[in-house]
Structure 1
Amino acid sequence: MPPTTLRPTRATAQKEAIRRALQAAPGFVSAQQLHQLMSEEGTPVGLATVYRQLNTLAANGQADTISVASGQLFRACKPGAHHHHLVCENCGKAVEVGPPDEDWYQAVAHEHGFTVTHHVLEIFGLCPSCSSAKQDEVHG
Structure 2
Amino acid sequence: MQQRSTRQRAAIVDLLEDVGEFRSAQQLHELLTTKGSTVGLATVYRAMQALTESGDVDVLRAGDGEALYRRCVRRAHHHHLVCRTCGTAIEIDGPGVEAWAATVGAAHGFTEIDHTVELFGTCGSCGAGAPD
Query: Which TM bucket (shorter chain)?
Result: 0.7 to 0.9
**Structure 1 stretches of 4+ moved >3 Å:** 112-116
**SS in structure 2 of the partner of residue 80 of structure 1:** coil
Partner of 1:93: 88
Q: Residue 79 of structure 1: CA displacement? A: 5.1
SS of equivalent residue, structure 1 residue 43: coil
Report deviation, 1:57.
0.8
Give the residue type in structure 2 aligned to 1:67. Answer: R
Distance 1:117 1:111, change over 3 A: closer
The whole-number CA distance in structure 2 between the counterparts of 1:45 and 1:90 is 28
C-alpha distance in structure 1 between counterparts of 2:125 and 2:99, whole Å = 34
Contact 2:105 2:113 in 1 (8 A): no
Count how many residue pairs are aligned between Structure 1 and Structure 2: 127
Question: C-alpha separation between the residues in 1 aligned to 2:69 and 2:28?
Answer: 9
Find the counterpart in structure 1 of residue 75 from structure 2: 80
Q: Which residue of 2 aligns with 1:56?
A: 50
Distance in 2, matches of 1:48 and 1:119, equals 28
Q: Which moved more, 1:110-119 or 1:29-38?
A: 110-119
What is the CA-CA distance between 1:35 and the residue it aligns to? 0.5
Give the Cα separation in 1 of the matches to 2:99 and 2:32.
Answer: 43
Q: What is the root-mean-square deviation in Å for CA atoms of aligned residues?
A: 1.8
Compare CA radii of gyration and give the structure with the larger one: 1
Structure 1 vs Structure 2: percent identity of aligned residues?
A: 43
Give the 3-state SS of the residue equivalent to 1:75 in structure 2.
Answer: strand
Q: Which runs of 5+ in 2 are unaligned?
A: none
**Take 2:115 and 2:63, find their aligned partners in 1: how far apart are those partners?**
19
Q: Runs of 5+ in structure 1 lacking a partner?
A: 1-8
AA matched with 1:76: R
The Cα of 1:103 is off from its aligned counterpart by 2.2
Amino acid at match of 1:22: L
- The residue aligned with 1:128 is 124
Asked whether the 8 Å contact 1:61–1:79 carries over to 2, the reply is no
Alignment of 1:1-140 (within 5 A): 12-70=6-64, 71-78=66-73, 80-101=75-96, 102-133=98-129, 135=130, 138-139=131-132
What is the one-letter code of the residue matched to 1:81?
A
